[in-house]
Amino acid sequence: MTRFFILYISLFLLLACNQSDSSSNTTTGNSLTHSDKTPKENISWAGFPNLTEVSVSIQKHQQVFFEKYLLPWSINKNQLPQFLDHQWIPGKDSTYATNNFLGQKNDWYGENKQLYPENIKQRIAQNADFSGFPNFFHKGITVNHTDLRRLPTEKPGYGTYSQAGEGFPFDYFQETSVWANTPVLLLQLSLDRQWAYVITSFYKGWVPFKDLAIVDEPFINQWKGGEFAFVVKDHFPIHSSDGISGLNGRIGMVLPVKSSAQNQVTVYLPVIGNDHKAILKEADIDQGNIRTGFSQMNETLIKSMAQDMVGQAYGWGGFMGNRDCSSTIRDFLTPFGIWLPRNSTDQAIYGDVVAGKNYDLSQFHSREEKIQFIKEKGIPFLTILWMRGHAMLYIGNDSTGMPLILHSKWALKTVYPETEALNLITANYPVEGIHKTTSADEKTGKEITQFVGRRLIGKTVITSVNFDQVYDDLKSYIIDDIIKMAVLVAEN
């Protein structure tokens, strides 16, 4: 099929990966400090898809979008066991606090870089009381952008700080951010009544009760009685008509529409009323920031959304309102009516769930064959590439024919012989932690000592699949590590 019409866009993008260069220690434009050199790519992008031949598949996604989005409001008590199973909705279950957090070896570090004292762990676990579960079975909605947590606490759960890739920002108690106006099912209140264990359509866990409101059938009927609008711009103010309530607009938000005019859309915002029940207020949003109904994947909107996301800080599990790899892809595709799971592992096998196909790329033993297969089978903006722990959205090819990816990534893994480590550290090498490891050599079986570190990226970027091959100190290269591909659509 003819998938592309040629679109040349000159994009000068910072690829925030750092190449050691002791001769440079200045900041110029987007360059980073430290003794590093920051490469840039002048990308000629020839990757906007001709979607007429996959329109039926896109419509299949759109037909099931709200069935998935509204799932929490359709669950009754008899169905709880199946939906609490990880297979249906990921997240920690009711036994995690006592069986895992308390029951296993203490390897959780707090905000002071110290192991959690036993009395603090006991207090957190006791607050996650599941006696009489479910003790608060109510349909609800988020009234603020919020965090869904593994435990009912704002305290972080870090791994060993001294190891590369651990510590900030990897708070493992943080599961995901949840945008305002997201339907939820409340199941349990914590002992202090400050937290609620909830099910969303894509995750389950603990959410601050102050960010939730209870909904009844009249509210639900009004809320889903008309059209819906999808936010397509990040970080703009949304405030209610009375000027009291407000939110920060985020790509991926879904809002019910009251009315549409030429230049603006009037939407409903949920707020907390009497008895912690949700009520709706009106808010006007400029048409440039929101689209009524599902959008077509056209050049203007795709480019605008991608430019909005590129450069934004990486956020593990939505940490500090930032996106990680899987939430970047999930939010990017939401305005087009494509619902995705939250975890990158689940996204990697979502191709055939609705309309597309999954591919195993581990069969390819050469980079050239794998790259060619991605170009032949992948459909730009509708194909997810996956390596362990990281998902990327294939968005077409550059002017040389190399596949491009939109992704949010924290860092590239580096490895060094022991003799080089001290020089790297003393040269102010820009790594996120560096630690010593001893392991068996894959070829000889002999024990070798190495130092492991990270080359920081820390943001959402557009790169080629081989952008990291300018470095000779990486543990492995991204193109070699990509082992799965999920194409979300198929030809009509």
Tokens coding 123: 């207090």
pLDDT at residue number 47: 53
CB atoms within 10 A of CB 388: 11
Confidence of residue 420 (pLDDT cuts 50, 70, 90): low
Query: What is the average per-residue pLDDT within 189-209?
Result: 97
Confidence of residue 422 (pLDDT cuts 50, 70, 90): low
Query: What is the average pLDDT score of the chain?
Result: 86
Confidence of residue 8 (pLDDT cuts 50, 70, 90): very low
pLDDT at residue number 136: 95
**What burial letters (b/e) apply to 397-432, b meaning 16+ CB within 10 Å?**
bbeeebbbbbbbbbbbebebeeeebeebeeeebbbb
Where is pLDDT greater, at 272 or 419? 272
Confidence of residue 238 (pLDDT cuts 50, 70, 90): very high
Confidence of residue 244 (pLDDT cuts 50, 70, 90): confident
Model-level pTM? Answer: 0.89
pLDDT at residue number 129: 86
Q: Is the pLDDT of residue 432 over 60?
A: no
List, in sequence order, every residue forming a beta bridge with 257; answer none if it has no partner.
Answer: 267
261: which residues sit within 8 A by CB, 6+ positions away? none
Q: Is the pLDDT of residue 5 over 60?
A: no
pLDDT at residue number 48: 66
- How far, CA to CA in Å, does 149 sit from each of 96, 156, 407? 12, 10, 24
Give the integer Cα–Cα distance in Å for 401 and 134.
Answer: 55
- How far, CA to CA in Å, does 348 sit from each of 285, 401, 402, 417, 478? 34, 24, 21, 34, 15
pLDDT at residue number 433: 67
Sorted by where each starts, the structural domains of the chain and their CATH numbers stand as 10-58+338-487 (3.90.1720.10), 71-219 (2.30.30.40), 228-292 (2.30.30)
Query: What is the average per-residue pLDDT within 415-436?
Result: 64
Query: What is the average per-residue pLDDT within 287-312?
Result: 94
In the β-sheet with 212-214, what is the strand arrangement from edge to edge? 174-178, 146-149, 204-208, 195-199, 183-189, 138-142, 212-214
Least trusted range by pLDDT, from 95-99, 267-271, 367-371: 95-99
- How far, CA to CA in Å, does 430 sit from each of 22, 250, 314, 470? 11, 31, 17, 16
Where is pLDDT greater, at 436 or 217? 217
Tokens coding 244: 């009291």
Q: Is the pLDDT of residue 2 over 60?
A: no
Alpha-carbon torsion 420, 425, 427, 433, what sign?
A: positive
Query: What is the average per-residue pLDDT within 185-201?
Result: 97
* For the chain, percent of residues with pLDDT exceeding 90: 68
Give the integer Cα–Cα distance in Å for 177 and 314.
Answer: 13
Q: Is the pLDDT of residue 23 over 50?
A: no
Give backbone dihedrals phi and psi of 423, rounded to 5 degrees, phi first: -65, -40
pLDDT at residue number 93: 85
Give backbone dihedrals phi and psi of 371, rounded to 5 degrees, phi first: -60, -45
Confidence of residue 383 (pLDDT cuts 50, 70, 90): very high
Q: Is the pLDDT of residue 414 over 60?
A: yes
Q: Is the pLDDT of residue 127 over 60?
A: yes
pLDDT at residue number 427: 57
Could you tell me the end-to-end alpha-carbon distance of the chain, in angstroms, rounded to an integer?
Answer: 11
Amino acid letter, residue 127: N
The string of pLDDT tens digits covering residues 320-333 is 999 999 999 999 99
